[in-house]
Structure 1
Amino acid sequence: MTELSILYVDDDDRHRTMVAEALELAGHRVTQASCGTTARALLQQQVYDCVVTDYDMPGVTGAAVVSEARRLQPAVTVCVVSGHAREHMSDLPTGTLLMTKPFSVPLLLDVLSPR
C-alpha cells in the first residue's frame, strides 16, 4: 500500500487520536486537527493526499473543510465521517465520500487508497 499523507479533522479528541494512531500504524503520515479553523490553516501550509473530516463540528463545519480542501487542493481525496444520515448534510459538495460512524479503519483505508 502506498503511504498517504492524511489530514484527520475531528473535534472529539479521543476518537481523532484513536483513528490517527491506527492510520499511522498502517503506515501513513497523519496530521491531526481538532477543528475546522485549524484544518483550513493546515490546508494552506501543506499538500495532503486525503482529508478526512467529521461533519458536525462547532464553528467551521466539515462541509466547509471539504469546500476549502477542494478549492486549495483539487486532487485531494476527501471523506466525511459522521453519525448523521446524508439527507441531514445537504451542504456537502457533490461527490463527497461519506462514511457513517462508527466505521472500521480498514474500510476507511480502502476508501482512501488510490485506485
Structure 2
Amino acid sequence: MTSLTILYVDDDHQHRDLVAQALTGAGHAVTQAADAAAALDHLTKSPFDCVVTDYNMPGDTGAAVARQARVLNPRATVCVVSGHPKEEMTDLPTGTLLMTKPFSVPLLLDVLTPR
C-alpha cells in the first residue's frame, strides 16, 4: 500500500484525533487542522495527496477548504465528510468526494487509496 500525506480537518477534537490515529496506524502521514483557517494555512505550506474535511465548521465551511485544495493541488483527492444532506452542500467544487458521517475508517481508506 502507498503511504499518503493526508490533511484531516474537523472541529470535533475527539473525532479528529480518533480518525487521525487510525489513518496513521494504517501507515499514512496525517496533519490535523481544527478549522478551515488552519487547514488553509497548512495547504499553502505543504502539498497533500488527500484532503479530508468536515463540511460544517466555525468560520468557513469545508467547501472553502476543498476549493483551495483544488487550486493548490488539482491532483489531490478531496473528500468532504458531513452529516448534512448533500442538497445543502451545493458549493462544493467539481470532483469533490462526499462521505456521510458517521463513516468507517476502512471505507475512508478505500476511498482515499489511489487505484
**How much identity, in percent, do the aligned residues show?**
68
Partner of 2:36: 36
TM-score (norm 1): 0.98
Partner of 1:85: 85
Amino acid at match of 2:59: G
Amino acid at match of 2:67: S
**2:11 equivalent to 1:8:** no
Amino acid at match of 1:98: L
Deviation at 1:53, TM superposition (A): 0.1
- Structure 1 CA distance for aligned equivalents of residues 46 and 66 of structure 2: 15
Question: Displaced runs of 4+ in structure 1, greater than 2 A?
Answer: none
TM-score (norm 2): 0.98
Kindly tell me the number of residue pairs found equivalent between the two proteins. 115
Query: Deviations for 1:18-75, whole angstroms, at most 9, x for unmatched residues?
Result: 0000000011000000000000010010010000000001111100000000011111
Equivalent residue of 1:48, what SS?
coil
Partner of 1:63: 63
Runs of at least 5 residues in structure 2 that lack an aligned partner in the other structure: none
- Structure 2 CA distance for aligned equivalents of residues 102 and 9 of structure 1: 15
Runs of at least 5 residues in structure 1 that lack an aligned partner in the other structure: none
